[in-house]
Amino acid sequence: MKTWLALTLVFMIVPDVAFAQGSERYEGPIIDMHLHAHTVASYALEPIPMCTAAEPVVFLGLDPSIPMTLDRVSAPCANPIWSPATDEELLRETLAAMERHQIVLAVTAGPLDVVTRWHEAAPERIVPAISFLTGRASGAQAGGVDGLRNLFLEGRIELFAEVGAQYEGLAPSDPSLDPFYTLAEELDIPIGMHLGDGPPGAPYNLYPNYRASLGRPLLLEEVLIRYPKLRIYVMHAGWPLIEEMMAILYSHPQVYVDIAGENWTHPRKEFHRYLQRLVESGFGQRILFGTDQMIWPQAIEVAIESIQSADFLTLEQKQDIFYGNAARFLRLSEEEIARHHGRVAEGVK
């Protein structure tokens, strides 16, 4: 009888303990490996709404006779987030969100002049990066490979991210990208490579050259073989092609992934399934947090909450995703890491 009672108590208590561990909130510093600096006018001339994973997300089926604009591909939601009205508000609200949520570093990409302005506003937080081949000509002003070399050597950029060959109808292994990979390997410039999904209806509106088939993670493999010293992470973790993504992670230990965008634009249960599969397959120390914040600063909080609410993650796994893995990938010094944790402990923003 005593044995039966003891076992009953164990089965009653253990699930609660496991849940408590998984639901414990992370309170330390955060590194955002995927932030954008754009002008609001590059998206719209007035504030525009965006639905997030804070509510149910539904991707609608459309009649092809109707233009497939972004405002039609998702079902309306009750409480959308809104983009700011001006560039100044966008910068101010983004930095305020970073401070509020203890984001100590953010790899920030976009048009060079906008990224520079953001970096000047918050040099200790904004890590300047440059995006190119994204269908938006973000890196066109860099002047090709020689221009990118000069920008890096001058300290104006620190990463190539986001490299959006998929948006231009190119596979990551396309020979036209070899000069960029050669430069990145030579100068040890980290690369964030877009693979996976783009906006719903992308080929029919913003990105006519975008092809879902070019987002396959296995298309990256020959690049990894030819350039084995590349520091590279796959943006969006190749969603939804998890089998190919795990094959790359398993066979190529130098590859990391970020989980940006999926953590606030997709149904939360689907995001959690994808993340749980990666973690339970042993890749928890290769996952980088990112927001893919474009012109909606409130998305930062939704993206963070998607990790905090994942009850299958331990506190240590949350710490890895939010900070530790990125600190390792970026090769932060012990002094930088100590400063980041000290800043949070002291409440200094």
Q: Which of these, 347, 288, 302, 346, lies nearest to 105 by C-alpha position?
A: 288
Q: How far apart are CA 106 and CA 128, in angstroms?
A: 8
Following DSSP, what letter does each residue of 218-236 receive, concatenated?
GGGHHHHHH-TT--EEEEG
CATH no. for residue 168?
Answer: 3.20.20.140
User: What residues have CB less than 8 Å from 210, skipping those under 6 apart?
Assistant: 135, 166, 167, 169, 198, 202, 203
Q: Is the pTM of this model over 0.85?
A: yes
Query: How far is residue 165 CA from its own chain's centroid?
Result: 17
**What share of residues in the chain are helix, strand, coil (percent, to 5)?**
50, 15, 35
Mean pLDDT of 25-53: 94
What's the pLDDT at 1?
40
The answer to whether residue 177 sits within a structural domain is: yes
The answer to whether residue 10 sits within a structural domain is: no
The answer to whether residue 259 sits within a structural domain is: yes
The answer to whether residue 206 sits within a structural domain is: yes
The answer to whether residue 34 sits within a structural domain is: yes
What's the pLDDT at 66?
86
Report whether pLDDT(20) > 70. Answer: no
The answer to whether residue 61 sits within a structural domain is: no
The answer to whether residue 143 sits within a structural domain is: yes
What's the pLDDT at 10?
38
Report whether pLDDT(88) > 80. Answer: yes
Report whether pLDDT(278) > 70. Answer: yes
Report whether pLDDT(58) > 70. Answer: yes
Q: Residues 309, 318: contact at Cβ < 8 Å?
A: no
Tokens of 323: 């900070």
Confidence tier at 133 by pLDDT (50, 70, 90): confident
Mean pLDDT of 147-153: 95
The structural domain count of the chain equals 1
Name the residue range of residue 89's domain. Answer: 24-40+85-346
The answer to whether residue 159 sits within a structural domain is: yes
Report whether pLDDT(215) > 60. Answer: yes
